């Protein structure tokens, strides 16, 4: 004979599916989503999703109360965002990432997006998805989950993204530079302009968007954010104003000035193989004296690493006066003896070695691109020019940047103690300091 609570549980399961089986944090996040009357805008893609999300949140914040969850794009982070929503919130911008099959379905079921934005598809997380088609199949679940009355924003220049239009019955808005689309996009660098100029022409009119982006490939993030905002009812003049004032996303091809040394271009958040050369081409366009490219680890590629690092070196050598590899793949550059003897190529085992070398060799006229996956934290090379950096552990395990961590002036072995101290109540900290 069934116990009463078992009967109740079965009845609730019939009404709410597996909702009652979920942990309490998930259930409270789901309830918060159910109570909210906000627009829920989810952004995904193999590249460009973080910049698109940050820029869109920046635009919408000038129009209506907006919350966002970006960079930390997994279910626990999104659940925390939902639980803290205010009743005043009108727009919620969420970056939705995937690492394995089923991730997007879980996130979409939780968030129930009213707007879905897909930037592009490359061969990311190769061990899980094996191909672009595998990635598209997973990310396309976001488009399938768009709620009635909502819409999708798709990059029609990407064939697999464009095909996602068939995965929803809701309205689809497309943008492209080359393919036929609802919004036609142009982009370039006009004379005497340091920032990218993006033109958007479509059903909501014509916009000329002045930006501070230093690389052409940011056209997609800029256009996707602008088109989404326009379709949500943000006035065109406000969209242009907010984009012009946007300073960019930390560690994504942004300029880092030092007090008395070289200028750095920090592109240290990620280094997927499929978009690596875009950074090199953008760096070649920038004006500077002696140009150096520092390359750490390349991410998201199938097969033998040797051809990847070899080709990366050859491309980098075409775009800079000197190429520096750092990490355990430095020997895979296949640089010839002449490049090594002349110093056009140098390999170092550790990030600290590169920082010390540049301190001796670089001048105030140099322009240096730091490019690599986050794990090596190449941004310390730039920070060390003006700050006494004492954390040189190349495998610290932190997923964010060194400026997010904030403990780069302390040896790595002291970080746990410092964080524990920082978590203590203020009166306890003062007592221990006394």
Mean pLDDT of 326-331: 92
Q: At what angle do helices 305-319 and 276-285 cross, to 10 degrees?
A: 10
Q: Which residues contact 403 (CB under 8 A, 6 or more apart)?
A: 250, 379, 383
Q: Decide: 213 and 184 in contact? Cβ < 8 Å.
A: no
The answer, yes or no, to whether residue 67 has pLDDT greater than 70, is yes
The confidence band for 434, taking pLDDT boundaries of 50, 70 and 90, is: very low
The confidence band for 425, taking pLDDT boundaries of 50, 70 and 90, is: low
φ/ψ region of 190 (left if φ > 0, alpha if ψ in -120 to 50, else beta) reads beta
Mean pLDDT of 254-268: 95
Look at residue 427 and tell me if it is in a domain: no
The answer, yes or no, to whether residue 16 has pLDDT greater than 60, is no
Look at residue 433 and tell me if it is in a domain: no
The answer, yes or no, to whether residue 15 has pLDDT greater than 60, is no
What pLDDT score was predicted for residue 26? 84
For residues 387 and 230, what is the distance between their CA atoms, to the nearest angstrom? Answer: 43
Shared domain check, 359 and 328: yes
Shared domain check, 310 and 197: no
Look at residue 396 and tell me if it is in a domain: yes
Quick: pLDDT tens for 383-408.
999 999 999 998 887 777 888 888 99
Look at residue 228 and tell me if it is in a domain: yes
Shared domain check, 372 and 295: yes
The CATH number covering residue 331 comes to 3.90.190.20
Shared domain check, 240 and 258: no
What pLDDT score was predicted for residue 264? 97
Report CA dihedral (264, 266, 268, 272) to the nearest 10 degrees.
Answer: -110
Shared domain check, 289 and 175: no
Shared domain check, 262 and 190: no
Mean pLDDT of 25-29: 87
Mean pLDDT of 309-313: 97
What pLDDT score was predicted for residue 3? 53
What pLDDT score was predicted for residue 122? 86
Q: What percent of the chain has pLDDT over 90?
A: 71
Quick: pLDDT tens for 127-163.
677 788 999 999 999 999 999 999 999 999 999 999 9
What pLDDT score was predicted for residue 385? 95
Can you tell me which residue has the tokens 């019939």?
14
Tokens coding 410: 């302390």
Give the least confident one: 15-19, 122-126, 256-260: 15-19
Shared domain check, 263 and 239: no
What pLDDT score was predicted for residue 227? 98
The alpha carbon of 288 is separated from its chain's Cα centroid by a whole number of angstroms, namely: 26
What pLDDT score was predicted for residue 123? 79
In the sheet that 205-210 helps form, which strands lie side by side, from edge to edge?
Answer: 66-69, 91-95, 39-44, 115-118, 151-155, 171-176, 183-188, 197-202, 205-210
In the sheet that 367-371 helps form, which strands lie side by side, from edge to edge?
Answer: 254-257, 263-267, 367-371, 291-295, 322-326, 345-348
Shared domain check, 330 and 229: no
Shared domain check, 263 and 215: no
Tokens coding 183: 């919004």
Task: Note down the domain range covering 61.
Answer: 36-244
Domain termination site, one of 244, 272, 291: 244
The Cα angle at residue 274 between residues 269 and 277, in degrees rounded to 5 = 75
What pLDDT score was predicted for residue 146? 98
Look at residue 64 and tell me if it is in a domain: yes
Quick: pLDDT tens for 227-256.
999 999 999 999 999 999 999 898 999 999
Average pLDDT over the chain, rounded to an integer: 90
What pLDDT score was predicted for residue 1? 43
The confidence band for 18, taking pLDDT boundaries of 50, 70 and 90, is: very low
DSSP string, 193-262: --S-EEEEEETTEEEEEE----SGGGHHHHHHHHHHHHHTT--HHHHHHHHHT----TTSSEEEE-SSS-
What pLDDT score was predicted for residue 277? 95
Domain termination site, one of 211, 244, 277: 244
Quick: pLDDT tens for 210-229.
999 999 999 999 999 999 99
Shared domain check, 137 and 208: yes
Domain termination site, one of 196, 220, 244: 244
For residues 325 and 37, what is the distance between their CA atoms, to the nearest angstrom? Answer: 50
Shared domain check, 322 and 207: no
The CATH number covering residue 122 comes to 3.40.1190.10
Look at residue 429 and tell me if it is in a domain: no
For residues 349 and 385, what is the distance between their CA atoms, to the nearest angstrom? Answer: 20
Q: Is 101 helix (H, G, I), strand (E, B) or coil?
A: coil
Mean pLDDT of 162-182: 97
What pLDDT score was predicted for residue 19? 46
Look at residue 15 and tell me if it is in a domain: no
Burial class of 181 by CB neighbour count within 10 A (0 to 12, 13 to 18, 19+)? buried
Look at residue 2 and tell me if it is in a domain: no
The confidence band for 2, taking pLDDT boundaries of 50, 70 and 90, is: very low
Q: Decide: 199 and 187 in contact? Cβ < 8 Å.
A: yes
Shared domain check, 271 and 229: no
What pLDDT score was predicted for residue 218? 97
Domain count, the chain: 2
Quick: pLDDT tens for 69-124.
998 888 889 999 999 999 999 999 999 988 888 899 999 999 999 999 999 998 77
């Amino acid at each position: 004979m069934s116990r009463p609570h078992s009967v109740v549980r079965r009845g609730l399961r019939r009404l709410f599916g597996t909702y009652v089986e979920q942990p309490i944090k998930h259930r409270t996040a789901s309830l918060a989503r159910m109570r909210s009357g906000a627009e829920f805008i989810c952004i995904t893609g193999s590249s460009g999703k973080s910049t698109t999300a940050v820029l869109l949140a920046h635009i919408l914040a000038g129009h209506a109360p907006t919350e966002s969850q970006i960079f930390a794009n997994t279910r626990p982070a999104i659940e925390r965002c939902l639980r803290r929503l205010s009743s005043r919130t009108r727009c919620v911008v969420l970056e939705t990432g995937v690492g394995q099959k089923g991730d997007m379905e879980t996130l979409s079921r939780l968030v129930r997006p009213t707007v879905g934005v897909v930037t592009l598809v490359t061969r990311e997380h190769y061990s899980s998805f094996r191909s672009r088609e595998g990635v598209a199949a997973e990310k396309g679940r976001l488009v399938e989950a768009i709620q009635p009355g909502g819409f999708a924003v798709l990059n029609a220049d990407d064939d697999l993204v464009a095909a996602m239009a068939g995965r929803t019955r809701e309205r689809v808005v497309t943008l492209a530079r080359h393919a036929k689309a609802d919004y036609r996009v142009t982009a370039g660098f006009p004379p005497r302009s340091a920032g990218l100029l993006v033109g958007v022409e479509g059903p909501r009119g014509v916009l000329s968007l002045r930006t501070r982006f230093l690389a052409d490939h940011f056209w997609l993030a800029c256009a996707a954010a602008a088109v989404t905002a326009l379709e949500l009812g943000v006035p065109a003049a406000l969209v242009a104003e907010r984009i012009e004032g946007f300073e960019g996303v930390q560690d994504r091809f942004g300029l880092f000035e030092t007090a008395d040394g070289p200028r750095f271009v920090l592109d240290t958040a990620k280094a997927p193989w499929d978009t690596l050369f875009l950074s090199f081409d953008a760096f070649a366009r920038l004006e500077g004296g002696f140009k150096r490219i520092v390359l750490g680890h390349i991410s998201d590629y199938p097969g033998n690493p040797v051809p990847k690092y070899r080709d990366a070196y050859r491309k980098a050598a075409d775009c800079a006066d000197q190429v520096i590899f750092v990490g355990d793949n430095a020997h895979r550059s296949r640089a010839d003896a002449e490049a090594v003897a002349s110093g056009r190529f140098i390999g170092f085992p550790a990030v600290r070695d590169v920082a010390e070398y540049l301190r001796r060799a670089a001048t105030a006229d140099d322009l240096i691109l730091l490019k690599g996956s986050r794990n090596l934290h190449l941004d310390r090379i730039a920070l060390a020019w003006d700050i006494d950096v004492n954390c040189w552990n190349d495998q610290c395990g932190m997923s964010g940047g060194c400026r997010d961590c904030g403990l780069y002036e302390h040896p790595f072995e002291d970080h746990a103690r410092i964080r524990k101290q920082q978590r203590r109540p203020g009166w306890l900290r003062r007592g221990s300091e006394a």
